[in-house]
Amino acid sequence: MPKRDLYSILGVPVGADLETIKTAYRRLARQVHPDAGREPDPARFREVHDAYTELSSAARRRSHQIDLDRVRRASRPVEEIKAGVRIRIIDDFRSVAPSPGEILDHIAHNFFGFRRKSGGPHRRLELEIVLSREEAEAGGRLPFAVPCYVACASCGGAGSWPWGVCPRCRGYGMVEAARRVELDIPPGIRSGSRFELLLDSIGLTNLLLDVTVLVA
C-alpha cells in the first residue's frame, strides 16, 4: 500500500499520462534542484525525483493507481448496502434451507429450553444475496433482521396476569421479535464469496447464517 500519493507530489491528477508527468517533473526540478533551482531544496528534489522515477514506468504507474484505489475504498465510511433496507429472515426469501418451520423451531430452542436437536452445535441457514456491480465494488454493511424471542412486555416475562394467562404471549413469557445483525462486505468482493455469520450476540447459539454473495 502506498505511503503517499505520488501524483500529488508532482501536482498532477491521478491517472495523468506520461507527458503530463514529465512536464510537471521538469517544472519542479527547475524550482527545487539543489544546484540550479530557483528555490534549492535537496529533500524536496529527492522526493520529486523518486516520484517521477516510479510514475515514468507504465507498469509501476498502474500498480500505484491500484494501490491508491484500495486505500481510497478502505478509507470510506462504512455505509449500508441497499440504502439500509434490512433483509428480513425469513420473509425476504422465497425458499430457505432448512425450511422456515424448522428454522423457527430451532430458534425457539434457544429461548424456551426445549431439547436441542441433533446435527451438530450449529444448524446453517443458507442464504444467497445478490448485489449489483456497484454495490459489490463499493462494499458496505449488509443488515439482516433475524427472528428471535424477547420477554413479553405485557406480563414482563412472567407468562401470567393476576387473573390468568397472559393473552399476548399465551403463558410462554416471550413473544416473537426480530433482532438486527450485520455483515461487513469488503470492497471489490467477487461473486460466489461465502461468509459465516454467528448469531450468539442475539441469543442464538445453535444457528449461523451461511451467506453466499452473488454479483449481478
Ranges 88-92, 94-98, 101-105: which has the least confidence: 94-98
- pLDDT range class, residue 118, cuts 50, 70, 90: very low
**Single-letter amino acid code for the residue at 188:** G
Query: CATH 2.60.260.20 spans which residues of the chain?
Result: 81-215
Query: CATH 1.10.287.110 spans which residues of the chain?
Result: 6-74
- pLDDT range class, residue 131, cuts 50, 70, 90: confident
CATH class of 81-215: mainly beta
Answer yes or no: is pLDDT of 31 > 70.
yes
- Whole-angstrom Cα distance, residue 205 to residue 123? 10
Q: What is the pLDDT of residues 38-70, one digit of tens each?
A: 888 999 899 999 999 999 998 888 888 877 776
What is the number of other CB atoms lying within 10 angstroms of the CB of residue 121? 9
Contacts 24+ apart (CB under 8 A), 65-68: 65/14, 65/15, 67/1, 67/2, 68/2, 68/5, 68/7, 68/14
Question: What are the grid coordinates assigned to 45, written together?
Answer: 528534489
Which of 99 and 127 is assigned the larger pLDDT?
127
Mean pLDDT of 177-194: 86
We find that the CATH architecture of domain 6-74 is Orthogonal Bundle (1.10)
Ranges 56-60, 63-67, 89-93, 197-201: which has the least confidence: 89-93
Q: What is the pLDDT of residues 140-180, one digit of tens each?
A: 888 888 888 888 888 888 888 888 899 888 888 888 888 88
- Whole-angstrom Cα distance, residue 56 to residue 24? 12
